[in-house]
Amino acid sequence: QVQLVESGGGSVQAGGSLRLSCVASGYTYCTHIMAWYRQAPGIGKEREFVASIDMGGGTIYADSVKGRFTIDQDNVKTTVYLQMNSLKPEDTAMYYCNIDIEKILGHCDGGTYWGQGTQVTVGS
């Protein structure tokens, strides 16, 4: 069973930094992409993409975090990090780790999985 466990959230003042971690387990070495999403508080707020990284180290960022956030992963590709610098109040959200596993017949079941989330609060 695939599991994702996030950590590193907290409360900081604007301009501060946080580093989120997500440890993935329960799957064999399958091709995958790991990503961070966030959902701001309030009615009607949808979960939005923040950043992703593939197994080759290729990264994609939302325009709102480019130049401030950096996504990276460990050498065995089971832990992904999100370094968040120059935080703004509008970065306040629940941050979710996501993994999208490629299905390979006889080897990898494939699928998309989510962590439980870690709260980030940025004061003005």
Kindly give, in sequence order, each residue whose CB lies less than 8 Å from that of residue 10, ignoring residues fewer than 6 positions away: 18, 119, 120, 121
pLDDT above 90 for 29: no
Q: Mean pLDDT score of the chain, rounded to an integer?
A: 94
Residue 108 is predicted with a pLDDT of 86
Residue 1 is predicted with a pLDDT of 85
Residue 62 is predicted with a pLDDT of 98
Residue 109 is predicted with a pLDDT of 85
Is residue 63 classed as helix, strand or coil in its secondary structure? coil
Quote the CA–CA distance of 56 and 34 in Å, as a whole number: 11
